[in-house]
Amino acid sequence: MEAATLISELKRRRVFRVLIGYGIAAFAVLQIIEPVMHGLHWPDAVLSYVVVVLAVGFPVVIALAWAFDVKAGGVERTPPAPGLRRPYVALALTAIAALVMAPGILWYFILRKPAGGAAATPAATAGPQMRRVPIGSSPSRGAADAPVTIVEFGDFGCPYSRLAEPMLQNLFERYPSKVRLVWKDYPMGIHLDADDAATLAREALRQKGPDVFWRVHDKLFASAARLGRPVLDRIAAEEGLDSSAVSTALRDGRHRTAIDADVDLAYAIGIRAVPWFLVNGRAVEWDAKLHPEVLEKAFAEALADSRQRMAAGVPAAAVYEAVQREADPTPMPVKRITLPDPSHRPSRGGPAQSALLVHEFCDLSLVECAWIEPPLRKTLASYGDEVRLVWWDVTDPQQPESVRVMKAATAAGNEAFWKMHDEILARQWRRFEEPPKNLSSAVLRQVAISIGLDMAVYDYNVAFGLSDDEGQQVGQARALLGKGGGRIVIDGEVYFGGLPPHLWRTAIDRALARRR
C-alpha cells in the first residue's frame, strides 16, 4: 500500500512530468553544445563536463519537484502527504535519482578514464594492422588539428575510389572539425588514364596550391569513368592552369618521383588494391558492394580512441603523431616463389640465354588478362632486349571456352602463339567496352585466318582437347599460383597484374642491377 501511495504522490507532485521535461531539455542541450564545441575548437573534455552537470541535475530537479509546486501565483511548498514515512520517501527519491543519472556518470568515466590509469594510452597495444604512414607533403583537407586523420590511397580512374567519395563527404559534414583527409596516389595499371590524372592533380597543387588540387580531385572523380586527355585538358582550363606546364608535366613525368613514392609506401604497408584507407594508422580496405559502412565504423572507433588520448593530455593536433609512434614500421614482405624451367613455354623479347625473364600467369579467356596487357607491354618495351616475357597458361580445364581459346592460341607454334595472343586480348579489351562478342570457334578461326596461320595445322590441333603435355603444363602453373591468373613474377617476386607498373619497373631494375 505504501508503494502505491508513493507512486500516487509522485504523480501528484509532477515528479515524473518534471523528469521527462528535464530529459528533453538535457538532450537538446547536448545537441546544441557539440556543434558549438566543434565550431569553437573546444576540447572534447568540455562535453564530458556538460554530461556530468546534466546528470547531476536530475536529482536536483527531483528534489525541487517533490518539495515545491509551481503555480500561476508563484512557487509554493508542497504539503506533506499523510501516511508516508520520511526515510522511505528519501530512499525512493535517492533510488530514482541514481537511476536517471547513472548513464551520464558511467559514460563520463568510460570516456574519461583510459585503461590502465590516466597516463595510459588505449592504443598502446595496437596490432599489426596499425601501420606507419607519414603524411609528408601530401595534400590534405579538413582541420589541421583534427583528432582523426584518414589517409586515402586512391586512383582517379577507379570506380570504387569514386564510389567512396560520398561517404567521405558525409564524414566531413557530420564531423567538420574532427576529420582530416590526406590523399596519396596509387594509380593502378589497369586504369589507363589514372597516371595522367594523378599528374594533373599534382600539377594543380604545384601551380595553385591545395584548394585547387581538391577542386581538380573532385572534378576528376565527377568525370566519366574513362578520363582521357580531352577531359584532363578541360579540367585544367576550368581551373586556370597553365596549359603549357600541364602538357610538359604529362609528357615529361614531372611528378613521377612523388607519385612513385606514394606507390612504394602503399606497397610497403601491404596495400594491393584501391581505395584503401588508413584511419589513424589502421588499415581499412573499403568495398562499396559488400561493406559500405566499414569506413564509418573505423572512423567512430578512431574518434573514441582519440578522445581518450586527449582526455589523457594529448593535444588534438598531436594525436596522429602519437598514434604513429605506436605503429608498426616493418615493410610487408614481397611474396617469393621458385619457378621450374620454363623453356618449353611460349616466350618473346630479348635473348632467351641472357635476358631477364618476366613470367606472366594468366588465361587468355579472361578479360582481366586483357586489362593487364597494355601497361605490361609498355613496361617491357622500355627495357628492349634486356627482358623476355614467358607465358604460363592457367586455363581451367573444366571450362570449355578457356580450353578452346588456349588450343586456338597454341595451335601453330611460338611465333603464331604470340600473334593469336595479341589478337585475342585486343578483342577481349574491345569486348569489355562494347557489346560482348563470344570467343566462339568460328570467331577464333577467323582470327587465325586473318593473321595467316596454316589452317590445316590449326584445324588439326584445335580438333582435340588438351594433350597430356599441355595438361601437365597447365596443372603445374595452376599449382604454383592458383587459378584465374593475373600474376607477374620477376626474379622470383610475385606481383598482382593490376598493380601500378612502377612496382614492376622497380622489381626489374633490382633484378638487372643484381646481374651487373
What pLDDT, in 10s, does the model give residues 250-308? Answer: 999 999 999 999 999 999 999 888 899 999 999 887 665 546 678 888 899 999 999 99
Of residues 260, 259, 265, 258, the one with CA closest to residue 332: 265
In terms of domains, do 455 and 511 share one? yes
Q: Does residue 225 fall inside a structural domain?
A: yes
- Count how many residues are written for the chain: 516
138 in a structural domain:
yes
C-alpha–C-alpha distance, residues 87 and 94, integer Å: 10
pLDDT at 72: 46
pTM to 2 decimal places: 0.74
Residue 201 falls in which region: left (phi positive, over 0), alpha (psi -120 to 50) or beta: alpha
- Shared domain check, 234 and 185: yes
CATH code of residue 248: 3.40.30.10
Tell me the C-alpha distance between 226 and 192, whole Å: 8
**Chain-centroid distance, C-alpha 254:** 27
The rounded distance, in Å, linking the Cα atoms of 274 and 276 is 5
Q: 386: closest CA among 510, 491, 508?
A: 508
Q: For residue 275, is the peptide bond before it cis, meaning its omega torsion is within 30 degrees of 0?
A: yes
Would 375 be classed as within a structural domain? yes
* Secondary structure of residue 384 in the 3-state scheme: helix
> Could you tell me if residue 392 is inside a domain?
yes
Question: Is residue 139 a contact partner of residue 259, using CB atoms and an 8 Å limit?
Answer: no
Strands (E), 100-231: 140-142, 148-154, 179-185
- Whether residue 280 sits in one domain with residue 153: yes
Same domain, 166 and 300: yes
* Residue 437, C-beta contacts closer than 8 angstroms, at least 6 positions apart: 427, 430, 431, 443
Same-domain check for residues 315 and 272: yes
Same domain, 185 and 157: yes
Euclidean distance between CA atoms 221 and 214, whole angstroms:
11
374-391: burial string, b at 16+ Cβ within 10 Å, e else: bbbeebbeebeebbbbbb
Residue 333 lies in a domain: no
Number of domains in the chain: 3
Q: Which of 90, 112, 134 finishes a domain?
A: 112
Check whether residue 139 and residue 283 sit in a common domain.
yes
43 is written with which cell numbers? 576540447
Taking 70 as the pLDDT cut, the residues of the chain under it are 1-7, 9-15, 34-48, 66-93, 97, 100-128, 224-225, 286-292, 429-438, 484
Backbone angles phi, psi at 487, to 5 degrees: -120, 140
Considering the domain boundaries, does residue 335 fall inside one?
no
Nearest-angstrom CA–CA distance, 454 and 322: 69
Distances (CA, A) of 193 to 62, 496, 500: 67, 19, 12
Q: Do 316 and 356 reside in the same domain of the chain?
A: no
241 with 366, same domain: the answer is no
pLDDT attached to residue 93: 63
Domain membership flag for residue 121: no
Asked if residue 170 and residue 45 are part of one domain, the reply reads no
Domain boundary among 291, 326, 361: 326
93 & 221 share domain? no
Domain that holds residue 404: 347-515
Q: What is the 3-state secondary structure (H, E, C) of 443-511?
A: HHHHHHHHCCCCHHHHHHHHCCCCCHHHHHHHHHHHHHHCCCCCEEEECCEEEECCCCHHHHHHHHHHH
Question: Strands, E, within 323-380: which ranges?
Answer: 347-349, 356-362
Contact 203, 253 (CB under 8 A): no
Based on the domain organization, do 135 and 96 belong to the same domain?
A: no
Q: 508, 387 in Cβ contact below 8 A?
A: yes
Residue 399's alpha-carbon distances to 465, 466, 484, in angstroms, are 11, 12, 12
**Domain end point (choices 78, 112, 146):** 112
Residue 331 forms part of a structural domain: no
